Amino acid sequence: MIYLNGEFMPIEHAKISVLDRGFIFGDGVYEVVPTYSRRPFRLAEHLARLQTSLDAIRLANPNTNAKWSELVGRIIAGNPWEDQNVYLQITRGVARRDHAFPTGLKPTVFLMATELVTPSAELLKTGARAIVLPDFRWLRCDIKSTSLLGNCMLRTQAAEAGCTEAILVREGELTEASASNVFVVKNGTVLAPPKSHLILPGITYDVVLEILRGNAIPHEVRPVRESELRSADEVWVTSSSREVLPITTLDGKPVGPGKPGPVGLRVHALYQQYKAQVMRAPVHA
Ligand SMILES: Cc1ncc(COP(=O)(O)O)c(C=O)c1O
């Protein structure tokens, strides 16, 4: 079951206009909220990031957070999986094709869910493969925009090379990956690129930094050079669906000894612990 503009329906019944600015220009923003045992994880943070994306593209939020929460709850209840990715998207709506933002449109609001499948035990054991590519995307990667053509091109190149992710560098510095943030470990210290207009402020990135702080794991949030990425002892990618996934091969070469490292394994375990603890906590209104 999906939600479109005020109605719940099977996805096959959902229709939008070909003049929707989401279709014509990619003029919209989105969120993906991971949901475990039918409880959304960090919903308030996802809704806060949604608001930031909406503000950045000057689109009024069509719902209050209470309404979003209700819609997310109904989508979770209306779909068969215990663990879901709840996807929500807002576009500027339908208008005659003209680049400048028209005002006064009725936004298109869409929610759907897919099954949330986190990395398998096998993949976590071996780690994943990645390639390093130049980050040719625009300079507002902090906006969670549905205009993802650059990310799609980069991810396709990774897939064609038999890799799970494309890790991106711009002017000699690590930014993020095509659909995840990146952490590296050198000599026991975790390095993370700071939030800026060049990366999406990941919700998982924030959870990982909280874990690092909370457990006194040495870390530095600072620009990470491409050379540091390439000579790292460990590389991980983080996202809502990948959680904390070790990368053990970069451009065909092993990262460190070519297997998941101790810091990543520890942070992965702490992440699972944190998730379990949050999911056991009482539900707040
Ligand atoms: C480009 C990009 N960076 C980072 C992330 C990670 O964000 P989050 O941890 O909120 O899933 C994503 C998530 O899909 C993404 O698309």
Task: List, for residues 137-146, the tens digit of each pLDDT value.
Answer: 999 999 999 9
CA of 186 to the centre of ligand 1 (A): 23
> Which tokens belong to 180?
């995840």
Question: pLDDT band for position 58 (50/70/90)?
Answer: very high
According to the model, what pLDDT value does residue 284 have? 60
3 state SS of 222: coil
Ligand 1, residues 35, 176, 181, 275: which to mutate, most atoms within 8 A of Cβ?
Answer: 181
CA of 106 to the centre of ligand 1 (A): 27
Which residue's structure tokens are 């906006």? 143
Residue 184 predicted with pLDDT over 70: yes
Task: List, for residues 67-114, the tens digit of each pLDDT value.
Answer: 999 999 999 999 999 999 999 999 999 999 999 999 999 999 999 999
Burial of 50 (0-12, 13-18, 19+ CB in 10 A): buried
| Whole-number average pLDDT of the chain | 97
CA of 196 to the centre of ligand 1 (A): 14
Is 0.85 surpassed by the pTM of this model?
A: yes
> Which tokens belong to 271?
């992440």
Q: Is 176 in the pocket of ligand 1 (CB under 6 A)?
A: yes
According to the model, what pLDDT value does residue 88 have? 98
Q: Which of 88, 94, 120, 97 is nearest to 107 (CA)?
A: 94
Contacts 24+ apart (CB under 8 A), 146-154: 146/22, 146/26, 146/28, 146/29, 146/30, 146/89, 146/91, 147/25, 147/26, 147/27, 148/26, 149/26, 151/178, 151/179, 152/178, 154/178
Which residue owns the Cα nearest ligand 1 atom 5?
180
Which residue owns the Cα nearest ligand 1 atom 1?
179
Which residue's structure tokens are 């929610």? 111
Q: Is 204 in the pocket of ligand 1 (CB under 6 A)?
A: yes
Given the residues 144, 186, 195, 259, select the one marked as catalytic.
Answer: 144
Q: Is 203 in the pocket of ligand 1 (CB under 6 A)?
A: yes
Residue 25 predicted with pLDDT over 70: yes
Closest atom of ligand 1 to 181 CA is 4
Question: Is 144 known to be catalytic?
Answer: yes
Task: List, for residues 230-243, the tens digit of each pLDDT value.
Answer: 999 999 999 999 99
